[in-house]
Amino acid sequence: MTRIDDTFANLNGKAAFIAYVMAGDPDFDTSLEIVKGLPAAGVDVIELGLPFTDPMADGPAIQRAANRALEAGMTLNRTLELARRFREQDSTTPIVLMGYYNPIYSMGVPVFLEAAKEAGIDGLIVVDLPPEEDDELCIPANEAGLNFIRLATPTTDDKRLPAVLSNTSGFVYYVSITGITGAAEASAEAVAPEVARIKAQTDLPVCVGFGIKTPERAKAIASIADGSVVGSAIVSMIGAGESPADVLAFVKSLADGTHAA
């Protein structure tokens, strides 16, 4: 059992609220302050973005966040240090590192997995590694005790779905819209049959992200899924220069909406 497994097991019927922030945005200290405040704001699982120069699924808000973090000197090692600093005060809230394979490959998979475990990372979402490449990172991560969380999308048909679910652990992340993050609003009516289709083939929780920007939308999605994920709306507030207190107040409103479903 990982911290992610424990979290979903202890929600007592509530949906999970998962918040995404970019590590090091707009700088290390401000980012750490925000991340440290997420659990008290009601966040059940933290998605910590790994800054990367050439994203493939990120919309403009998250791309700008990555650029701000990189300009502030953020690296994979610094991202793990941020997680390590968070763990000094919180030993229970799961952290999922979300990003791309290139920085992990450059560090070396065995070295990375050891460092990630030591830093308190619980799971990985690596969007540019398909199931056909499971030997690269997914299987070694699972063997090291890290959950490897896969994305399913509206274009993941019944023929493809078993491959996506193979070796996936922790939860399944359903991308509610086609396209990049922050591009459109998610519709619970459209998402519900897709969540049901995935849940018919797995016992894992199914959480929905992309296109959730308000507490009302988070509540609607949480009513038909095991969790809602918000990233771009939070990152946009950070990018606008809002204070950590205001960012965390907004996060709390999203968490409250999700938990009220």
pLDDT given at position 182: 46
The answer to whether 256 and 215 are in contact (CB under 8 A) is yes
Helices (H), 10-135: 28-37, 60-71, 76-87, 101-107, 109-119
- The C-alpha atoms of residue 60 and residue 66 are separated, in whole angstroms, by 10
Q: What is the pTM of this model?
A: 0.95
Name the catalytic one among 5, 25, 44, 47: 47
Tell me if residue 47 is catalytic: yes
Tell the burial category of 113 from Cβ atoms under 10 Å away from its Cβ (0-12, 13-18, 19+): buried
Q: CA 238, CA 203: separation in Å to the nearest integer?
A: 35
Q: How far apart are CA 112 and CA 106, in angstroms?
A: 9
185 — pLDDT class (breaks 50, 70, 90): low
Which listed residue (5, 44, 58, 194) is catalytic? 58
81 counts as catalytic = no
pLDDT digits (tens, 9 = 90+) for 155-168: 999 999 999 999 99
Question: Minimal CA–CA distance to 27: which of 62, 64, 73, 60?
Answer: 73
- CATH label, 3-259, candidates 3.30.9.10, 3.40.50.720, 3.20.20.70, 3.30.930.10: 3.20.20.70
**pLDDT bucket at 184, cuts 50 / 70 / 90:** low
| pLDDT tens, residue by residue, 193-213 | 999 999 999 999 999 998 899
∠ at Cα 156 (153, 162), nearest 5°?
120
Whether the CB-CB separation of 21 and 166 falls below 8 Å is answered with no
Q: Is the model more confident about 228 or about 210?
A: 228
